[in-house]
Structure 1
Amino acid sequence: MGFSKAALVEGCREHGYGDTARLLFPHGEFAIVQYHLYKERTRLQTLQTQVDAEEGPSQSRRVRRYCVERLRGNQALVGRLPEAFGLMAVPRNAPTAVEELALLADEIVFLSGDDANSLDWYAKRAGLGAVYAAAEVFMTQDRSAGFANTLRFLDARLGDLTTAGSFVTGAVQWGAFAGHSALNVLRSQIARG
């Protein structure tokens, strides 16, 4: 039934509530989208031991694996994802959808073993969120067996992210070095003065 009012009504009926119980959900069918996003994000936590054992110490392999596992959570309803995207784009729903994407990126990075809170903390998560969202959109058009094209797309974007991440980290480090150097020059000028 997808992410529809009919699905919300049917869900209420299945749990013994009347049709008007759907009024308990002020964002209507977006509540189904929210539930799906939350359920699939938190499911990743249950995979941590397995992922750690199978992917080893490589953080990048674990990030990829969590992204793949999260995409697998969409397989059964891939034909309905455009409905979910449409509901997420509604202005009153967009902040919640963006927050959930940020939580997903944070969860993946954390589960992958990165608990640092350095200057590039936000860049890592924003970049990963953008890569995941792009892969999810790509998935809606993918007709390849086992979503092989989506996985290739994901791998390419994660590669781009690694390259960009190295650039950002280098730029941040260079900026910190340049700032520290400038401060030392100022201190030496003041000391002479």
Structure 2
Amino acid sequence: MIEKEKMLEAAIANVPFDGWSDATLIAAAQDCDLTEDEARAMFPRGALDLALAYHRKGDEDMVARLNAADLKGMRFRDRIAAGVRYRLEVADKELVRKGMAFFALPQNAGDGAAALWATCGLIWETLGDNSTDLNWYTKRATLSAVYSSVVLFWLGDESEGNEATWAFLDRRIDDVMKIEKIKGQARDTALYKAFMSGPGKILDSIKAPGAPNPNYPGRWEPKDTGNKE
């Protein structure tokens, strides 16, 4: 694990010049006195795994900041805004800019979307969201749209302390809260209740993903043969 952290740190220094690429992977390996094969053993998909490792490191730093912050006096919409802000504050604009170009490639788009979804999921979960129904999806989808637009704004923001970005973030969060308010009001209407007791009842069957199936490929555990030493 320590070697992977050193590799990522070395890669980060090369990304501004070579982007998230095999050239960055090889340069990082050389900086860490590793062979290319040793580096690829740690990052089998090369630049893609490096870029995802950087993204996950940012997620971990964001969660640590959220857990350490005193958010008790904040409105929930401000807690969500804090999560997005913390995530951007632990990121480097140039590395994110290179990452946007990298994940825009068709072969990387799926992993990029999954990384974005995971980030927004972590914000909700860290702030205590325990929904397991359709709301699990709608909350993450809505925040993903907000987060994406804020990142694009942030990348072009030259205001002092990124103040323009934080103002833009507040406006977008306000839009989300308006949608949530409308959804809440709609649930109390006779039309909504009639829909949910009829054709909309199928929505009740939509559940959040459970724990990974232990029988999926990629997991191995020794089989108990019953033999005793």
Question: Above 0.5 in TM-score?
Answer: yes
Q: Does 1:100 align with 2:100?
A: no
Q: Distance in 1 between matches of 2:198 and 2:86?
A: 46
Q: Does 1:136 align with 2:151?
A: yes
What per-residue deviation string (whole Å, max 9, x for no partner) do you get for residues 56-95 of structure 1? 3632222111111101122xx3134332111111222111
Equivalent position of 1:42 in the other structure? 60
> What is the alpha-carbon root mean square deviation over aligned residues?
2.5
Q: Distance in 1 between matches of 2:144 and 2:197?
A: 34
- Counterparts of 1:1-193 in structure 2 under 5 Å? 1-2=14-15, 3-19=20-36, 21=38, 23-24=40-41, 25-51=43-69, 53-56=70-73, 58-74=75-91, 77-171=92-186, 174=189, 176-179=192-195
After superposition, the Cα gap between the structure-2 partners of 1:144 and 1:177, relative to the gap in structure 1 and judged at 3 Å, is same
Q: Distance in 2 between matches of 1:122 and 1:50?
A: 27
Shift of 1:155: 0.9
Task: Report the more deviating stretch, 90-99 or 15-24.
Answer: 15-24
- SS of structure 2 residue aligned to 1:105: helix
What per-residue deviation string (whole Å, max 9, x for no partner) do you get for residues 133-177 of structure 1? 111111111111111111111111111111122223444564651
8 Å contact 2:62–2:90 — kept in the other structure? no
Q: Unmatched 5+ residue regions in structure 1?
A: 184-193
After superposition, the Cα gap between the structure-2 partners of 1:80 and 1:57, relative to the gap in structure 1 and judged at 3 Å, is closer
- SS of structure 1 residue aligned to 2:34: coil
Shift of 1:47: 2.3
Could you state the TM-score of these two structures normalised by the residue count of structure 2? 0.69
What per-residue deviation string (whole Å, max 9, x for no partner) do you get for residues 23-51 of structure 1? 55454322232111111112223224322
Shift of 1:13: 1.5
Q: How many residues align?
A: 180
One-letter amino acid of the structure 2 residue matched with residue 179 of structure 1: F
Q: Distance in 2 between matches of 1:17 and 1:86?
A: 28
After superposition, the Cα gap between the structure-2 partners of 1:48 and 1:78, relative to the gap in structure 1 and judged at 3 Å, is closer
- SS of structure 2 residue aligned to 1:92: helix
- SS of structure 2 residue aligned to 1:68: helix
Q: Unmatched 5+ residue regions in structure 2?
A: 1-13, 200-229
8 Å contact 1:4–1:29 — kept in the other structure? yes
